[in-house]
Amino acid sequence: MRTPLGWLQLRHDRGRFLVAIAGIAFADLLMFMQLGFQAALYDSNTRLDRAFRGDVVLISPKALNLQNLSTFPRRRLLQALDVPGVVDAQGLYIRTVNWRNPQTLRSATVQVLGFDPDADVLRLPEVQAQADRLKLPDTVLFDRGARGRYGEVIARLDRGEPVTSEIERRTIAVGGLFRLGASFGADATLMASDQTFLRMFPRAKAGSISVGLLTLAPGEPVAPVVQALRRHLPDDVQVLSHADYVQFEENYWRVASPVGFIFGLGTAMAFVVGVVIVYQVLSTDVNAHLQEYATFKAMGFRQRYLLLVVVEQALILAALGFIPGVLMPVWLYAVAAKATSLPIAMTLGRATTVFVLTLVMCLASGAIATRRLQAADPAELF
Amino acid sequence: MGTGAMTSAIVIEGLNHHFGRGLVRRQVLFDVALQVAAGEIVLLTGPSGSGKTTLLTLIGGLRAAQGGRLRVLGRELVGATALQLTLARREHGYIFQAHNLHRSLTAAQNVRMALEMRGTLSDGEMDRRARRILESVGLGDHLDVKPDQLSGGQKQRVAVARALVGEPPLLLADEPTAALDSHSGREVVLLMQRLAREQGCTILLVTHDSRILDIADRTLSLEDGRLC
């Protein structure tokens, strides 16, 4: 077996070794946080979209994202039912509004969904179970995962005490809780019946809806029906499969909003920081051993052997730096999830991505550092 | 050359060497001719700047030769490629003025590296040979000690062990006693002499330490780049 020179050399200088591992762990931590927030952004902003029950989604062509959906005529739902394969069509009213936080009595932004409580439009079992309460006038359900100071409100509701608030000068009763979670677009979500919704917003027209959810006959392939709907319906409505609709929402945040770019840039910068740290450590290590490397060359070792020593060191640093680099974010994700009510957690996919980035980072730095090896000249030894 | 090459470890004819280019080009070796027989111990002395270290690095394949004839262990080194020089170096043992041991490796690991480079022996055999030669230089109880815990003389003895563990046909040494007191300096040189004799190794030793002149079969003197 070859003497593990790279490992022995790293271990010899404990201080430098620890600095290197800490540096890589820090770069990994930064990348994990950036990628974690990015994923949480996409995940939280599509969570409600994914909860829509429907095979095909109708939205206005002017729609940007869930918070800016615009509206289209309700008649399109009836027209959609003419297309073979479509068995049910439901409309959703969506608006963002200020309500009075029942706990702080201050104004806060909430997103309100209005729909027919008898129609099963959301894949949220808690909402389904409490649909009857929505039939009471001016009664809404509140998101347990909302961001903001709602702890006492939730505690009161859990004890069964009545909670009221005010929207557009109208007193609203909070009739129950469900769990969805905050997103970057909305701090909190209220579920309401279509009747309550229209009473809340007198200027909203019953004939203008934000989202249409179409259910197809069981086993009906989606793509041909989407094509048929596009031919059948006028241009004032956009027809998307549910999956494409979720993608549409995600694309808004990925492309049209600056947020996706910011986190991407943050990840890239963390990567560069990692390269600089590892390069510093490896090139210092090569410099410190230049005389010894020259001796190895004099003994007949080839340049390639010394390259492998640096690569060995790069790989060891990558592996050892990744361990704290992956453990710290697990904890920080929990802290961040608690503080922001965003769905942030470690995933195997992201851990793999960051590990590969760490390897690339260390090997790239190693490759730059090996250029210093040329300076090891055995003729200078005597 | 024929039969001469068979028994001569080193054959040098008309060797010139220059440093620098253009106006600062300076000749350091002038028409050097030298033959060293296999198994011979030759000392090379001369004032500093006389070119003896340059001559040693050329013979050792550490520096590319520019002109003349330089035949070491049957290989022509004038015009050799970098790879050929690297392969030639594997046949030589080197002892430097500084011990040049690897700080991160123990004495035994340092010695073992010389065997690993050849890659022909099993792990057990490499360990056994490293241990045996360290025992024969009197460091049997310092196998797992790193260089910074050894005295100067002990470090130089590890360096001797490293140079000779592969049983090279040629040993090149540059001022091996310079950093040592007279007692340990003499000890190291006698050790080199004894081990080289046992292995039938040729030694070329650059020194101006007059206390060790008596170990040589022959002493040569270099002055201003010329052998005399």
- Residues 6+ positions from B21 with CB-CB distance below 8 Å: none
If you average pLDDT over residues A4-19, what whole number do you get?
Answer: 91
Cβ-contact A215, A54 below 8 angstroms: yes
Q: Is the dihedral of CA B52, B54, B59, B62 positive or negative?
A: positive
Q: Which residue of B has its CA nearest to A294?
A: B100
What residues of chain A lie within 8 A of the CB of B123, using their CB?
1
- B194 in reach of chain A (CB within 8 A): no
What is the tens place of the pLDDT at every residue in A73-122? 999 999 999 999 999 999 999 999 999 999 999 999 999 999 999 998 99
What residues of chain B lie within 8 A of the CB of A298, using their CB?
60, 62, 89, 94
pLDDT at position A186: 85
**pLDDT over 80 (residue B3):** no
pLDDT band at A381 (very low <50, low <70, confident <90, very high): confident
Sort strands A189-193 and A139-143 into parallel, antiparallel or unpaired: antiparallel
If you average pLDDT over residues A257-283, what whole number do you get?
Answer: 88
Q: Partners of A163 in the beta sheet?
A: A174
Burial of A18 (0-12, 13-18, 19+ CB in 10 A): exposed
- A4 in reach of chain B (CB within 8 A): no
pLDDT at position A366: 87
Cβ-contact A341, A40 below 8 angstroms: no
- B84 in reach of chain A (CB within 8 A): no
**pLDDT over 90 (residue B185):** no
**Contact B86/A302, CB-based, under 8 Å?**
yes
Q: What is the mean pLDDT of chain B?
A: 88
Radius of gyration of chain B (CA): 18
Q: Distance, in angstroms, between A334 CA and closest chain B CA?
A: 41
Tokens of A134: 């929505």
- B94 in reach of chain A (CB within 8 A): yes
What is the tens place of the pLDDT at every residue in B85-142? 999 999 999 998 888 899 999 999 999 999 998 888 899 999 999 999 999 888 999 9
Q: What is the mean pLDDT of chain A?
A: 91
Tokens of A49: 């979209």
Query: Which backbone phi and psi does A176 adopt, to 5 degrees?
Result: 175, 180
What is the tens place of the pLDDT at every residue in A16-60? 899 889 999 999 999 999 999 888 888 888 999 999 999 999 999
Q: Distance, in angstroms, between A311 CA and closest chain B CA?
A: 17
Tell me which residue in A3, A298, A302 faces B105 most closely, judged by beta carbons.
A3
What residues of chain A lie within 8 A of the CB of B89, using their CB?
297-300, 378
Q: One-letter amino acid identity for B115?
A: L
Q: Partners of A139 in the beta sheet?
A: A173
Q: Which residue of B has its CA nearest to A376?
A: B62
- A286 in reach of chain B (CB within 8 A): no
**pLDDT over 60 (residue B2):** no
Cβ-contact A179, A150 below 8 angstroms: no
Helices (H), chain A: 5-12, 14-51, 75-80, 125-129, 131-134, 151-158, 194-200, 222-232, 242-251, 258-288, 290-299, 303-340, 348-369
- B75 in reach of chain A (CB within 8 A): no
- A1 in reach of chain B (CB within 8 A): yes
Tokens of B190: 């006698």
Tell me which residue in B62, B83, B97 faces A379 most closely, judged by beta carbons.
B62
- Chosen for mutation from B103, B109, B144 (greatest number of chain A CBs closer than 10 Å) is B103
Cβ-contact B15, B226 below 8 angstroms: no
- B184 in reach of chain A (CB within 8 A): no
- Residues 6+ positions from B123 with CB-CB distance below 8 Å: A1
- Percent of chain B's residues with pLDDT above 70: 97
Closest to A212 in 3D by CA, of A68, A44, A60, A66: A60
**pLDDT over 70 (residue B150):** yes
Question: Collapsing DSSP states into helix, strand and coil, what is residue A368?
Answer: helix
Distance CA B118, CA B166 (A): 8
Distance CA B115, CA B129 (A): 9
Distance CA A189, CA A142 (A): 6
ipTM for the predicted complex comes to: 0.88
Q: Partners of A110 in the beta sheet?
A: A97
Distance CA B48, CA B224 (A): 9
pLDDT at position A185: 81
What is the tens place of the pLDDT at every residue in A286-295? 888 888 899 9
Lowest mean pLDDT among A18-27, A168-177, A218-227, A337-346: A337-346
What is the tens place of the pLDDT at every residue in A322-368? 999 999 999 999 999 888 877 888 999 999 999 999 999 899 888 88
- How far from the centroid of its chain's Cα atoms is residue A197's Cα? 29
pLDDT at position A382: 67
Tell me which residue in B89, B96, B100 faces A300 most closely, judged by beta carbons.
B89
The CB density around residue B123, as the number of other CB atoms within 10 Å, is: 11
Tell me which residue in B96, B101, B114 faces A381 most closely, judged by beta carbons.
B96
pLDDT at position B21: 85
Cβ-contact A69, A116 below 8 angstroms: no
Question: Collapsing DSSP states into helix, strand and coil, what is residue A127?
Answer: helix
pLDDT band at A230 (very low <50, low <70, confident <90, very high): very high
pTM of structure: 0.76
Lowest mean pLDDT among A125-129, A359-363, B176-180: B176-180
- B89 in reach of chain A (CB within 8 A): yes
Q: Which residue of B has its CA nearest to A6?
A: B104
Sort strands A170-178 and A139-143 into parallel, antiparallel or unpaired: parallel
pLDDT at position A278: 86
Distance CA A371, CA A242 (A): 53
**Contact A382/B53, CB-based, under 8 Å?**
yes
pLDDT at position B195: 81
Cβ-contact B135, B123 below 8 angstroms: no
- Chosen for mutation from B100, B126, B174 (greatest number of chain A CBs closer than 10 Å) is B100
